[in-house]
């Protein structure tokens, strides 16, 4: 029995990294997946992988910081796959380097807030009227361990934007619970995505591993398994949770 059989899932930022792992796993579990990002080549690659495995997916491109584009993407998904049951608002990233607050540029600050908090808000705003009308749905947001405690390795604007996503998640969970909609967040520690592998050297990896009670770094699949649980019926009484997926790193 597939855990997401027949559900329509929009996974934002699934052209690569954590989002791609979530899209692949959801498709394996029977979801009809909207693979989304901005890079057409990366999008087609994930789309092709899913179809090769026998899953069903479409690829949709667009920038989530513009509400008109978000609406166009949602409408395309609804036209091609049907009403959205699951939104994984995963797209985001850090747009500035770690360091003292006074060195952060205004553009760097705005990019971090727009690319994480605003993009998450606009995506949820777009799917919510449909979910409320149907009195069903589940929404996952993507925070970060950067928002769980001050860490000199995290850029301040990124941490602040992700902290904003956490309270947005919990606030929304209280608003939409009565409509049968669950809203939860995942907060991963550094994940060994293809992108991160390019800049985290072997010695740095060893150093990071020592900071994890479970002595390894996380993979995109670790985060995907957490997302699958929260999106599935097994989590039907769980809402407003910020789930740390960190190998225990966030508590030490
Ligand atoms: N990797 C980690 O260590 C880690 C740890 C904690 C939290 N997270 C969070 O997990 C999420 C995924 O991270 P990742 O490492 O997998 O990122 P990634 O490899 O950089 O991929 C980011 C994805 O988001 C898309 N995206 C970014 N901004 C977008 C926008 N404005 N509009 C549309 N699409 C946009 C990208 O699309 P294109 O590339 O196609 O443009 C890509 O598909 C992010 O929210 C990140 O902050 C990551």
In this prediction, residue 46 carries a pLDDT of: 98
Dump pLDDT digits (tens) for 171-190.
999 999 999 999 999 999 99
Choose one of 14, 15, 17 to mutate for the ligand 1 pocket test, by most ligand atoms within 8 angstroms of C-beta: 17
Ligand 1 centroid vs 92 CA: distance in angstroms? 4
Give the start-to-end residue ranges of the domains of the chain. Answer: 8-192+220-241
Cα separation of 191 and 181, whole Å? Answer: 28
Dump pLDDT digits (tens) for 119-168.
999 999 999 999 999 999 999 999 999 999 999 999 999 999 999 999 99
23 burial level (CB within 10 Å; 0-12, 13-18, 19+): buried
For residue 43, which atom of ligand 1 is closest to its CA? Answer: 40
Cα separation of 204 and 72, whole Å? Answer: 42
Q: According to DSSP H, which parts of the chain are helical?
A: 17-28, 40-52, 67-80, 106-112, 119-134, 156-176, 194-199, 202-210, 220-231
Q: Is 194 in the pocket of ligand 1 (CB under 6 A)?
A: no
Concerning whether 237 is annotated as a catalytic residue, the answer is no
Q: Is 16 in the pocket of ligand 1 (CB under 6 A)?
A: yes
Six token digits for residue 106: 């205004």
Dump pLDDT digits (tens) for 84-126.
999 999 999 999 999 999 999 999 999 999 999 999 999 999 9
- Residue 6 phi/psi, 5-degree rounding, is 75, 0
Q: Is 55 in the pocket of ligand 1 (CB under 6 A)?
A: no
**pTM for the full predicted model:** 0.99
Asked if pLDDT for residue 1 goes beyond 90, the answer is no
| For ligand 1, atom 12: residue with the closest CA | 18
Q: According to DSSP H, which parts of 177-239 are helical?
A: 194-199, 202-210, 220-231
Within 8 A by CB and 6+ apart from 134, the residues are 83
Q: Is 18 in the pocket of ligand 1 (CB under 6 A)?
A: yes
Q: What is the mean pLDDT of the chain?
A: 98
Six token digits for residue 180: 């049968």
Q: Is 38 in the pocket of ligand 1 (CB under 6 A)?
A: yes
In this prediction, residue 99 carries a pLDDT of: 97
| Domain 8-192+220-241, CATH class in plain words | alpha beta
Dump pLDDT digits (tens) for 28-83.
999 999 999 999 999 999 999 999 999 999 999 999 999 999 999 999 999 999 99
* Residue among 55, 84, 158, 188 flagged as catalytic: 158
Cα separation of 156 and 168, whole Å? Answer: 18
C-alpha dist (Å) from residue 20 to 23, 101, 239? 5, 32, 24
């Amino acid at each position: 029995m597939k855990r997401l059989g027949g559900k329509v899932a929009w996974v934002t930022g699934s052209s690569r990294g954590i989002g791609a792992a979530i899209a692949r796993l959801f498709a394996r579990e029977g979801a009809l997946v909207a693979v989304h990002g901005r890079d057409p080549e990366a999008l087609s690659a994930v789309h092709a992988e899913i179809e090769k495995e026998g899953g069903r997916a479409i690829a949709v491109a667009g920038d989530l910081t513009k509400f008109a584009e978000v609406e166009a993407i949602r409408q395309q998904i609804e036209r091609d796959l049907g009403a959205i049951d699951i939104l994984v608002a995963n797209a985001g990233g850090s747009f500035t380097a770690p360091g003292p607050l006074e060195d952060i540029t205004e553009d760097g600050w705005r990019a971090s807030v727009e690319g994480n908090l605003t993009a998450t808000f606009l995506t949820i705003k777009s799917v919510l009227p449909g979910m409320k009308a149907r009195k069903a749905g589940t929404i996952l947001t993507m925070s970060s361990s950067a928002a769980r405690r001050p860490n000199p390795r995290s850029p301040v604007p990124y941490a602040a934007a992700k902290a904003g996503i956490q309270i947005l998640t919990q606030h929304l969970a209280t608003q939409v619970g009565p409509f049968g909609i669950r809203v939860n967040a995942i907060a991963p520690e550094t994940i060994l995505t293809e992108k991160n592998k390019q800049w985290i050297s072997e010695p740095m990896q060893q150093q990071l591993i020592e900071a994890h009670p479970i002595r390894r770094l996380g993979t995109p699949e670790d985060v995907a398994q957490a997302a699958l649980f929260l999106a599935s019926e097994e989590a039907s009484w769980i809402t407003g949770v910020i789930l740390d997926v960190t190998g225990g790193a966030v508590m030490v």
